[in-house]
Each structure stands twice: as C-alpha cells, then as structure tokens.
C-alpha cells in the first residue's frame, strides 16, 4: 500500500482494491457460541464455519483471489499428463526465482513429506531458525530431530527489533561442527517464523547462514510459504533494500538457496504447493516421490484450475501495493492492542497479530494450555476464531511428559485481502474486553489426545466452569444477542 496522507483523519491502512464478491457472516448469540465451543471439544478447529463470525484461524487457503486469478481458472488445461497449466506455472516460477526444476505438490506439508522422505535418516539433525508443526512432524516421523537456533531476541515478546526470525549464526556453525555435516541433511530457514509471531528474517542473515552451510557442504532449504510478508519487511525495514523492487529482492533471496518450497495456500493466494530444486540430480532423486504420494509431475495433486490461479498469484505477489495490506493491517491491530496494554508480540510481523498468552493469562500453567483457553475465550466473547500456537501445538516427549513451548501465543491471522478495517476494530475491542476480564479464564485438559498433531483433532474440557462464568459476564455487558 502507498503511504496515503489524510487531511483530518488519523493515518490508517488503505486497501488498494475494491470488493466485488461478498460472503455473508453470522454472529451467533453468546449462549449458542458457548454451546458450540462445548460441542467442539474446546477445539476451534472443530467448529463449523457457519458458527463463526470472524475466522482468524489461519491465512492458509483462505486468502481472497483477485479477478485476474478467478478468470485465469477458466483456461485450465485438464490433461492428466503434460498439462499446459503446469508449464505456464513452471515458466513463471523460473522467471521469478531463477531455478529450473519444479516439483508440484498439493500443499506445503506435502512438500515437507517429500523432503523428509528423501533426505532425513534416523538420527539425522535438521537445523532450523524455528520449526513449523508439520515440518517438524515429518522429520521426527522418519527418525530425525530438529534443532531450533533462532536468536534469543526472537523469543522476547516485546521489542522493536525488525528481524526477530534471524538464525543465530554462531550457534549454526557450532551445531554443524558438533553434529558433523554428514549428519545434517539440510538447514531449513523459514521466511516469516510462523510459531513465534510471523517474525521475518533479514536478507543479510539469510546470506550469512547460507554462506556457512556452503562452507561445510550442507544443503540449504527455504520455506517460502510466508515469503511475501518477509519481502515486504525486507523492503521496508532492511538497510539498502528500499530502492530495490520486490522482484529484485525475491531473486536475491532465491539465489542463496539450493531448494525452495512453499505452500501456495499462502504464497500465491491459491491452494497448492511447489518444491523448486536448483540441482538436476537432486531433482531426479525426488521426482519419483511426486507420483507416489501426490500425482503426476504436471499436476502433483493440485487442481489445474488452482495452478492457473497460483500462476497469476505469484505475479501479484511481486506488487508492493498488494503484499503490503496484510502486514499493515497486522501492524495496525498490534499497535492498537499494545496501546491498550494488551500483551501482544511486537513489532507486528506478517501472518497475523499474536497475543502473548503467557502474560495475558500468566496464572494458568503451561500444562493447562493457557493459549488454548484464551482461544476459546475469544470465540465465546465475540465469535472470533483464532489459533493456539503454544504447548498444545507441541507433541509430548517420548516419556509422555509435556514438551513446553518456548512461547504461548494466540494467533489472530489476517487472511490476505479478506477483512475490513471495521472488522479489525471489532477484534481489537473484544480482545481488550477479554483482557480486562481475564481473571475469569481457566485452563483446559485433554479428554481425547491424538499422538501426532493433537491440536487438529484433540478433544478437551475446561478445568472448572470458567466458560459459563465468562459468558455470563460478557452477556451482562453486551446483552444476549452479541
């Protein structure tokens, strides 16, 4: 978004698009929301979309497509093999990233499955700036383990540091030497660290980290799912980048890595996934896994209509006016909450605003899932569906004990080009009310706990009757219909 100067109004983010298709929203009365969260096992993933007012669970696959993306879907080539839709996508990705080989997959976690299956052996150590739930699960599934080496400042809730997703370079080199390069199948950097607030990584840090890896002969992998947000922050926060175009910065980043993968449910605004491979032999070593797990090499489990939309979306991701809306809306929300004294991760990153549950409801022990409880409170008091990103999203240790998360966050995702500023103001208002009544919120415990990725399908119950008391207080303030 350009910086629009206002005559009388305080500066606000200004959308550089107009809305042409709308979807009706439904705000259930408080008593019904209370019953819905009970019926869903206090797991917001199990709620029906029709029961939700503002869905801020994720930015994955729920971004608004443009008119150009929608129209591109009409020219899709439905051929099982040799689809021209695939070749149009491949050409666009080669243009933007300068990497020749392209493996399609149905979404980002499918790419992670391919990479883990191909490269990770039992006992291997994969080094990351920070993990993502599915990336880690695929690595541990095949017997590997993960070392997270984000700089200490990345785990500090409130600061003004611009790139809190940076990897610690000294620890990176020390870890490679300790493990030996032969035991490190690859180093994975995540552009926009999802689980610690969508915090970006600087180009300078990426270059230094990949230089260390090249010195030791270790493969480098970039998770570019949140790349468009990271590109925005590089251009606006990093010295020497302001006069470069988004396209130029994209190519600079791409040139650093051996392999790049992403979920197009985020990068590209559509629904799919891609692995880009620089080396031909590496490409050959993975190509047979695509038809085994995904589909033929020219669709990879994706609808060709989505491939056409993605191809347009990749080009739109090079437009600063388009990719700036998400970070600016997040920044607006974060600043307003911070001004209210609400514990929130600062500075605002990409992806969404992140409430710091460890300070919001710090009296709830981590084993009672404070972030999970706060997510439920948000739904009861406003119909807002967020996502827990804390201990509940971890997997237990081998001995059955809880693996405590480094941060207890509630993510309020901002799907790209979806919400209006008035809806954002509503979210801010309801979060502030909950913060002022936070003593009413209690913990949760499992009733049904899946072994892997338990946060998706687990069933929980409250410790005590706090949801009823919270709903009662909310109704006393706002009435039964809100």
As annotated, the active-site residues are 80, 132-133, 223, 266, 389, 455
- Copy the structure tokens of residue 253: 């980043």
CA dihedral 38, 43, 44, 47 (to 10 degrees): -50
Distance CA 342, CA 416 (A): 24
Residue 10: Cβ within 10 Å count: 5
Distance CA 274, CA 314 (A): 12
Residues contacting residue 472 through CB under 8 Å, at least 6 positions apart: none
Distance CA 271, CA 310 (A): 7
Distance CA 351, CA 411 (A): 9
- Copy the structure tokens of residue 224: 């570019």
Angle subtended at Cα 401 by Cα 398 and Cα 406, rounded to the nearest 5 degrees: 100
Contact 220, 257 (CB under 8 A): yes
Contact 89, 310 (CB under 8 A): yes
Contact 104, 272 (CB under 8 A): yes
| Residues facing 145 on adjacent strands | 125
| Chain centroid to CA 430 | 23
> What crossing angle do the helices spanning 370-380 and 30-39 adopt, rounded to 10°?
140
- Cα–Cα nearest to 423, from 19, 3, 68: 19
Contact 305, 73 (CB under 8 A): yes
Distance CA 256, CA 251 (A): 9
| Chain centroid to CA 40 | 23
Distance CA 187, CA 168 (A): 13
> What crossing angle do the helices spanning 30-39 and 466-478 adopt, rounded to 10°?
160
The continuous run of DSSP H or E covering 384 comes out as: strand 384-385
Distance CA 349, CA 193 (A): 9
Measured in residues, the chain has a length of 482
- Cα–Cα nearest to 42, from 470, 416, 438: 470
Helix-then-strand count for the chain, H and E: 19, 14
Distance CA 34, CA 30 (A): 6
């Amino acid at each position: 978004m350009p910086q629009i100067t206002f005559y009388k109004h305080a500066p606000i983010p200004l959308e550089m698009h107009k809305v042409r298709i709308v979807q009706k929203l439904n705000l259930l009365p408080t008593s019904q929301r209370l019953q819905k969260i009970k019926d869903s096992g206090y797991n917001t993933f199990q709620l029906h979309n029709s029961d939700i007012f503002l869905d801020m669970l994720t930015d994955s696959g729920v971004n608004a497509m443009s008119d150009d993306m929608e129209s591109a879907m009409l020219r899709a080539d439905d051929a099982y093999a040799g689809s021209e839709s695939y070749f149009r996508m491949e050409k666009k990705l080669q243009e933007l990233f300068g990497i020749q080989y392209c493996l399609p997959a149905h979404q980002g976690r499918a790419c992670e499955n391919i990479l883990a299956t191909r490269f990770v052996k039992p006992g291997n150590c994969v080094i990351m700036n920070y993990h993502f739930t599915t990336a880690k699960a695929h690595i541990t599934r095949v017997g590997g383990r993960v070392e997270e080496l984000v700089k200490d400042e990345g785990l500090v809730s409130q600061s003004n540091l611009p790139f809190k997703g940076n990897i610690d370079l000294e620890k990176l080199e020390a870890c490679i030497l300790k493990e030996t390069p032969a035991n490190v199948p690859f180093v994975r950097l995540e552009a926009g660290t999802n689980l610690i607030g969508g915090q970006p990584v600087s180009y300078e840090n990426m270059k230094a980290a990949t230089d260390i890896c090249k010195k030791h002969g270790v493969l480098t992998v970039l998770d570019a799912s949140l790349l468009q947000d990271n590109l925005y922050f590089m251009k606006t926060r990093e010295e020497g980048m302001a006069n470069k175009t988004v396209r130029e910065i994209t190519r600079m980043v791409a040139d650093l890595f051996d392999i790049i993968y992403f979920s197009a449910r985020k990068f590209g605004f559509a629904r799919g996934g891609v692995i880009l491979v620089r080396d031909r032999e590496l490409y050959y070593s993975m190509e047979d896994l695509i038809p085994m797990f995904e589909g033929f090499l020219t669709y990879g489990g994706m609808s060709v209509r989505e491939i056409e939309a993605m191809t347009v979306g990749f080009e739109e991701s090079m437009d600063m006016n388009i990719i700036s809306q998400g970070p600016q809306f997040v920044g607006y929300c974060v600043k307003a909450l911070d001004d209210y004294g609400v514990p929130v991760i600062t500075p605002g990153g990409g992806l969404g605003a992140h409430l710091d549950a460890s300070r919001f409801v710090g009296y709830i022990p981590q084993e009672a899932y404070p972030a999970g409880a706060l997510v439920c409170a948000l739904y009861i008091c406003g119909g807002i569906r967020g996502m827990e990103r804390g201990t509940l999203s971890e997997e237990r240790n081998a001995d059955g004990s809880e693996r405590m998360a480094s941060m207890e966050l509630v993510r309020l995702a901002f799907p790209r080009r979806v919400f209006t500023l008035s809806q954002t103001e509503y979210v801010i208002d309801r979060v502030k009310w909950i913060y002022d009544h936070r003593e009413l919120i209690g913990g949760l415990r499992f009733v049904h706990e899946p072994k892997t990725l338990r946060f998706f399908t687990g069933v929980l119950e409250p410790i005590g009757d706090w949801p009823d008391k919270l709903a009662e207080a909310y109704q006393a303030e706002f009435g039964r219909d809100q």
